[in-house]
Structures are given as structure tokens and as C-alpha cells.
Structure 1
């Protein structure tokens, strides 16, 4: 309540005598909260991002970087950095997630593949961390710590420990051998918006320098939506041609590109499954638990296509998924 009152005090000088209404809107998986501000003739978004919990500098500075390169982002109209309050332009209510039943879905994805290729070419900037081996290992540890250890309470045997270490090494090396580009990190259907005739990007503050396939995995292997395999295959070939034309790939066969894509997806989905459990256990956000089993199934299915990941896939399918189902059943009661 104290922050809400402070938020109102932040807004009052900007609207002066103009009455406004403040309504909470769906937040993201972070500690940020969002509200829509409606006046008699205009609407805005206000973001509450407590600086005691989050570093807001990358949000501010990378907004400048991506906007200068022609991308549509929320405009920061006013900011109180000390308190962590930001008045933003309102991009509307339509996300890519709202258009996935559209007859033009494939065309939407093709446009966004082109957009991701343009994003990838943005030069490195301050506050973009390097997605290095240590960073990748940390992300993989989220799965072990939050899903395996804390959510289902599974203890790994010596053989399983060795399997996990070998799988992690393979996935890290797969990421590191790819061309390094500018990566959004969460380029998926809930962070891409349609405003007017433009695509707009939100939640960009965690951008890094990382593997060329990462954002493509976020887009086409979305944790929140499963593309039919035939459509996915078509779009993956389209992306290969687009990335090659944009010179993001050098002397890379489609087979190698697909391997990069698939294994990057396994790494990302292991992290995501762990984060969904962390959101429940640490942050009290249970709404993401519905995404855990589809994410684990993706890992299992893709692992079957690569002999080096057979053991990981079997462990996920035979041990992790059944125990996760049991825990989810308990959670639903």
C-alpha cells in the first residue's frame, strides 16, 4: 500500500488537474507491476519496478539503444529512478499471443523472424552481459535447484549426476560454438505486441550478447504455444535462409543450424521449467505451473533425436515427468 500511495504521488504532478483512473494489468514473471492510467482522452502505462529488488538502469539505457536502431518500444515519458516508477506510452492490448489463431499466423512469424535478424545485428552495448559458459551453467542450475531439488525433491544417483554434467557440457558447448549476436532473451508471444501496423518489443532489459539461435528458439519453441511440426519446419527453413541472407551465418549447413536450434531449445527449456517452479516456490506465482509439463515434454522429445541426449531424455521422461505430475496433482487440490 505504501508503494501504491507513492505511485499515485508520482503520477499526480504529471496529470495536474486532469482526472485519471488507475487499473492493475497483468504483470510479468519478474517483480515488476504494471498499471494502465486512463484520462479523459488518453491512456498510459505506469511501471512499478522497486529498485531494492531490480536494477532499472538496463531498462532505461537499453531503451535508448533499441529505439535509436528503429525498434518500436514503450517510450519512457517520465521516470522517478530513485523510487522505481516509470510512466510509459501505451502500446495497447494486442500481443502476438492474441494472434496465434489468426489465419495470417505464419506471415506474422515470418515478419518476426526478419525482425529478430535485425535485432541480432545491433552492435554490443553497455549493460548487455555476455552469455558465456558461466552464465549458461547458472541457467541450467535453475532446473536442478528449483525443479529437481525443491519442487519434486529428487535425489540424483551417481550415474544421474554424471549424465547431468555431460548433458550440461554438451548444451553449453552448443551455445558457445554459435555466432554471437545481440539477443533479447525472451523473444516470445507475450513480449511481442502489435500496435497499429507495427510490431513492438517489450521486456527487453535482459538483452545479452549470445548465441544466434536463442531468440529464434524463444519465438518458434515458445513455452506458451506449440507450433505444428510442419509449420515449425517451414519457418525454421525460412529463418535459415533469412539469417544466411543477413550474414548472421557463415558456412553453416541447415543440419548444423537445426542442431544449434534444437539443443539451444533444450537448454532454454530446462531453465524455463526451473523458473516456472521458482515462481511458485519463491514468489508465490502459481499461474506458470501449467507450462511445466509441456516444457518437459519438449525436452524429452527433442532429446530423443540426438544420441548424445538419449540418457537425459529418458531421465526426463521416466523420472522427472511422473514425479512432476504427482506434485502438480497435489498443488491442484
Structure 2
């Protein structure tokens, strides 16, 4: 009986030691260790942002293209802690797949359908603005017939590109057909030639058609002037290489005769001083009290 108990006791002791060693050497549970898995970025278009932390507002560490292989350390609340392209961060689990997605055919480039139109204004130019608003800042002005590339049209405004600039124009002034180019009706202003005709003195040329306007210069009788326009008794003119306004009353279509300087020759007579005694005073003026010259 004793012989039987001793081996049994020894076996029990050895088994206990072995069990304790097995317990201490057991690996960490699934909760205690980080499980690394391989996944792939699967976005429909664009790229996936890898962020500093599991927050939409966190700084972007890198951008991962579709099919990028990532090592996933952990996943929690819709975010996965990953490593990809030698960088670590967080990505949304919604864009990770266990299978590598097919390569994106580059042909799916979101090609925007554009149309070609032409500026069609009756006069002047068409303003290209910063946004689709009549009060928006003007980017540039487009002349009639300018070719524009139209990206989109909405609420009476078209997003366009013309002359290497982009902006918005009013759709009312765009046409699918190129309008006939305006033959520059050479904006030649019809002018007439007239002459200054004042009875005496000179004629004032003023800054504007007003008697109180600043005097630019004075024109003598007979001066030739080019008349651009006449309105309300004033003529816009050019004379002696200067431009301004003069009163139409003093202009004539015919050149007036030049005033022969009625040589102011005073008729004189010769007389002699005749005093009984002394001398005769010559005074400053015709007055007995005037200073003696």
C-alpha cells in the first residue's frame, strides 16, 4: 500500500509543477495582444486620408490611393489604426477591404462635358465676373465674337473660360454661333472747321461748357478751330493743340477779315511856350495841384 501511494504522490506533485509552468508560459489572450491583419484601401474615387488620430478633424498624415496595402493594428468606433507606405495613422474602416480591389481604369477621369459658345453683345463688351452675381468683381471684359468654353450653366449664369481666364458671364449674351465681326465703324467723329469771330479782345476756351469753368487758353479773332460737337450754346473744340469748350456765339464758318490795326496815329500840332516872366510848369495831370514834372 505504501509503495503504491509514493509514486502517486510524486506524480501529483510533478503534475502540479508542470501545470503551473504551463499557465505562466501561456500566450496573451486576444484582448491582451495586438492582432495585425492585412487589408486594402477601397475607395470609389480619389484617395483615403490617413489621419493623426481617429477623428475627422485630425491632421492628415498621408493620402492612400485605391488598392494600397495596409497593416491594421486595431479597429474601434469606425476607425482603424494602420501602417502604410512606412507611415502610421488612422483611417476610416468603411474604406478598407480584405480583398485587393481591381485597378481603377484611368479612363474614368471625371471629364466635365464642355461646350463652345461665343460672346454676342450688341455693343460694348461682356463682363466676366468672379462669381455668378451681377455685383461680383469683374475678372476681365470680353469683346463680341470671343470664343468661350462653357463648363456649366445655372440661374442665368455660365461658368466659362476665355482668353486663359475663368469666371462667370450672363448666359443672355452667349451664342452657339459666332456672330458677324463688327466692322469697326471707325469711330471717326464728324468734325467741322470754324473760326473765332469776336468784335474785340479774345475768346476764352474753357475746361467744360460752363461760363464758370476754368480757362484753358484764349483765342484771338480769326483762329481756326476744329469743332467736335455743339450743345446748349457750347462747342467742344480743338485749337492750337489744346482742347476745350467755347461759346458758339463767337464761332463763324467763314474766316473773318483780320482787323487792320487802325494805326493809333494821334494827330499832333506844334506850339511854343510864351510866358511874360519866369517859367511854365508841366504837371503830372491836368490839374493846378498836380505834381510838377
Band the TM-score falls in, shorter-chain normalisation:
under 0.3
Bigger RCO (CA 8 Å, 6+ sep): 1
With the length of structure 1 as denominator, give the TM-score of the two structures.
Answer: 0.16
Structure with higher strand content? 2
With the length of structure 2 as denominator, give the TM-score of the two structures.
Answer: 0.17
